[in-house]
Amino acid sequence: MIDIDNKMYKGIWKYFIVAALILLPTLAFPIASDLSVFMHGGSIIANGGYLFQDFYDIKPPFIYYLFAAINFLFGDNLIAFRLFDFFYQLTFLVITSYLMFKLELKTKVIKAFLIIFPLSYTILNYRDIFQTESLAFIPLILYFYYLIIEDNSYKKHLIMGTVLGIAIALKYTLGIIFIGYIVYFFSDSKKRDYTKAITQLIIAIFVVVLTFVPVLVTGGLDGFLDTNSYLAEYAKYPPIGAALAKQMIDILTHNFGTLVSVSTLFFFLLASLLIKDEKLQIMKKYLLLFCFLLFLSVLLERKINMYHITRLYPYYIIIISLGLVYFIEKYRFRFNLASFTLIAMFLLMSPLLRFVNSYKIAFDRLFRYESYLAYYTNDKPFNILGHHIAIADYINKKGEEKFLFINTGGNQTIHYLNSKYKYKFPHSAFHLSPKAPASYKKAFEEDLKDANIIAIDSLDNIFMIFLTDGSSYDLFFKEKEYKDYLNNYFELDTTLLNRYFIYERKCK
pLDDT tens track, the chain, 508 positions: 445 555 555 678 899 999 999 999 999 999 999 999 999 999 999 999 999 999 999 999 999 999 999 999 988 899 999 999 999 999 999 999 999 999 999 999 999 999 999 999 999 999 999 999 999 999 999 999 999 998 889 999 999 999 999 999 999 999 999 999 999 998 876 777 899 999 999 999 999 999 999 999 999 999 999 988 888 888 777 777 777 777 777 777 777 766 677 788 888 999 999 888 888 999 999 999 999 999 999 988 887 888 999 999 999 999 999 999 998 888 776 566 555 566 666 666 667 778 888 999 999 999 999 999 998 997 665 678 999 999 999 999 999 889 999 999 888 999 999 999 999 999 999 999 999 999 999 999 999 999 999 999 999 998 888 889 999 999 999 999 999 999 999 999 999 999 999 999 998 6
Cβ atoms of 407 and 460 within 8 Å: the answer is yes
Q: Residue 344 has what pLDDT?
A: 64
Alpha-carbon span 458 to 497, nearest angstrom: 11
> What single string gives the DSSP state of each residue in 314-371?
HHHHHHHHHHHHHHHHHSPPPSSHHHHHHHHHHHHTSTHHHHHHHHHHHHHHHH-HHH
Please count the CA atoms within 13 angstroms of the CA of 168 that sit on its side-chain side. Answer: 21
d(CA 393, CA 311): 37
For position 328, what pLDDT does the model report?
Answer: 85
CB-side neighbour CA atoms (13 Å) of 83:
10
Position 314, amino acid: P
Count of other CB atoms within 10 angstroms of residue 440: 23
Residue type, 267: F
Paired with 377 in beta bridges are 384
Q: What CA–CA distances, in Å, run from 116 to 23, 286, 354, 477?
A: 11, 20, 13, 50
Q: Calculate the alpha carbon distances from 485 to 166, 383, 427, 437, 470 in Å.
A: 44, 32, 20, 20, 20
Instruction: Indicate the pTM of the whole model.
Output: 0.92
